[in-house]
Amino acid sequence: MIMNGLASTFVASFMSRARRFAADAGGNFAILTGLMLVPLVGMGGLALDHWKASTAKSDLENAADAAALAAINRAAAVLQLPTKDANAAIAAGIDAGRSQFKASAGKTPDTSVSEPEVTLTINGLLISAQVKWGAATKANFSGVFGGGGAINMVGDSQSSVTMPGYVKIFVVVDNSASMGIAASEEGQVKLYNLIHCAIACHLDAGPQTKFYDVSGGVTSYTYARNLGIDTRIDVIRAGVTQILDKAKTIRVKSDQFSIGLYTFSADPVELIAPTPNLDAVRTAAAGMELTRKGGSTDVKTMMNYIANKISSGSRGDGSSFNKPMVYVLFATDGLSSNTLYDPPTNTWPRDTDIMAYAPSYLNNFSGLDPYLCAPVKNISGVTLLPLNIDYIVPKPDIRGDHDTHRFAFIENYILPLQDQRFRQCASNGAYFKARTSQEILSSLQSMFEQTIPRPPRLLR
């Protein structure tokens, strides 16, 4: 309370003395106030000048961005003409960039803008543009304080785009019996409850029926379909159909995308060679089914087969139909068996084309050998994009007695290594992984999008 009283007394005394000073100083106080106003007004004026300059610079940067995009779009349009004249495209792009910049920059108040410098280059399918500019914004207050009558500014904007090039895509799908596994744990249980088999039903599919009985017997695959269970081969087929639909929607030329379909188990099968007739590819995709040969997932033979197809065909930078960029979309669970079922003898002899890759179960079941991808991966200009369709190991209560140890080995020793192996298989380590039906569909879409040129991007 004493301190508060002292503070109140001090404030009252200070205010009283200030009033007496003002009264006594007379005209001196007015002079001091006037002198203080000069720098205060000057500082406010400088701030206003620089705010105006900052606004003008932002407007001019936006104008340069629009000019760079206009230059690229005009050049791209000229390149789409039958003549495909690069020099004409560059000239037209530069003119479009200048016109766009002048139209936008002319709206900037109190600013003198110099002629923009627009450069444009075409390197294969890549178009790049740069717009450099300079300007001076009128300064109303800076000149009074020796700062000159204008604020000078410079800037530039860069943009690039990859033209929609020609693309050839090899879609390679593992159609071995394990791809007939239900694509979800729920589907496995549902199928097991009906036929007492949940995964890789190689033989028995019910009383007196065989999985490989093509003479009219009901297969486990048919049982699954009749129950509405999505198997992995069904989901892949649907995903390929979605890719075809998207390709038809986004293509800028009827022959921009050429797509071929291949399946493999013991042997490679060409469903359709790469063709721009996407309706024909769709028809071929409808015939994508599980193999009728039990066991044996021969990645080595398939990769050599596709490598020969690529090497004997056309490829390049995508600048023409005869110089397409080449992609291989490779979908598999990466699990291999080196035995092959022989119906006449009802035995499982070794497939000598397949070597088990450690770690393996009984020198038979093993994971993906990434070195088998080399024949395709090492071809110059070819991009290999693998999809690891995660092997869903059935729960212990729906495993057959003879499968318990095999599934435990796969789960504990093979599957933990698959991600690393798929990454090694891929070009630049770009691989995809999916487990559920939706993940498989989404991954296939993402793989296809890797083949599509990106939209223009701006750089400053």
Write the pLDDT tens digit of every residue in 115-133: 999 999 998 788 999 999 9
pLDDT for position 389: 95
Indicate the pLDDT class of residue 279, thresholds 50, 70 and 90. Answer: very high
| 318 to 151, 169, 212: CA distances (angstroms) | 47, 12, 43
Q: Which of 261, 281, 259 is nearest to 270 (CA)?
A: 261
From edge to edge, which strands make up the β-sheet containing 257-264? 268-275, 257-264, 167-174, 325-332, 382-389, 432-434
The pLDDT of 103-114, averaged and rounded, is 84
Query: Given a cut of 90, is residue 297 above it in pLDDT?
Result: no
Q: Which run of H or E residues covers position 163? A: none
| 189: exposed, middle or buried (Cβ count in 10 Å: 0-12, 13-18, 19+) | middle
All structural domains of the chain with their residue ranges: 39-162, 167-452
What is the CATH T-level fold of the domain 39-162, as seen in this structure?
Answer: Pantoate--beta-alanine Ligase; Chain: A,domain 2 (3.30.1300)
Residues 376-409: pLDDT tens digits? Answer: 999 999 999 999 999 888 888 877 655 778 888 9
CB 256 within 8 A of CB 166: yes
Bridge partners for 342 per DSSP = 347
Q: Is 39-162's fold the same as 167-452's?
A: no
- Position with higher pLDDT, 247 vs 25: 247
Q: Among 100-109, 271-280, 442-451, whose mean pLDDT is lowest?
A: 100-109
Full-model pTM: 0.72
**223-255: b or e for each residue (b if 16 or more CB lie within 10 Å)?**
bbeeeebbbbbbbbbebbbebbeebeeebeeee
Would you give the DSSP letter of residue 145?
G
Asked if residues 410 and 425 have their Cβ atoms less than 8 Å apart, the reply is: no
Report pLDDT digits (tens) over 166-205. 999 999 999 988 888 888 888 888 877 877 776 655 444 4
| CATH architecture of the domain with range 167-452 | 3-Layer(aba) Sandwich (3.40)
Higher per-residue confidence, 95 vs 19? 95
- What pLDDT is attached to residue 15? 53
Cis peptide leading into residue 370 (ω within 30°): no
| End-to-end CA separation in angstroms for the chain | 64
Residues 6+ apart with CB under 8 A from 28: none
433-457 pLDDT, tens per residue?
Answer: 999 999 999 999 999 999 986 666 6
pLDDT band of 110, cuts 50, 70, 90: confident
Segment holding 16, helix H or strand E:
helix 2-25
How far out from the chain centre does Cα 145 lie?
55
Residue 207 has pLDDT above 50, yes or no: no
Distance between alpha carbon 254 and the CA centroid of its chain, in Å? 23
Coil/strand/helix, residue 332: strand
Count each helix (H run) and each strand (E run) in the chain, helices first. 12, 13
Residue 82 contacts by C-beta under 8 Å, 6 or more apart in sequence?
A: none
Residue 446 to residue 243: CA distance in whole angstroms: 10
Helix axes 86-105, 27-79, angle to 10 degrees: 160
Given a cut of 70, whether residue 277 has pLDDT beyond it is yes
Q: Which residues pair with 330 in a beta bridge?
A: 172, 386
* pLDDT (average), residues 265-269: 90
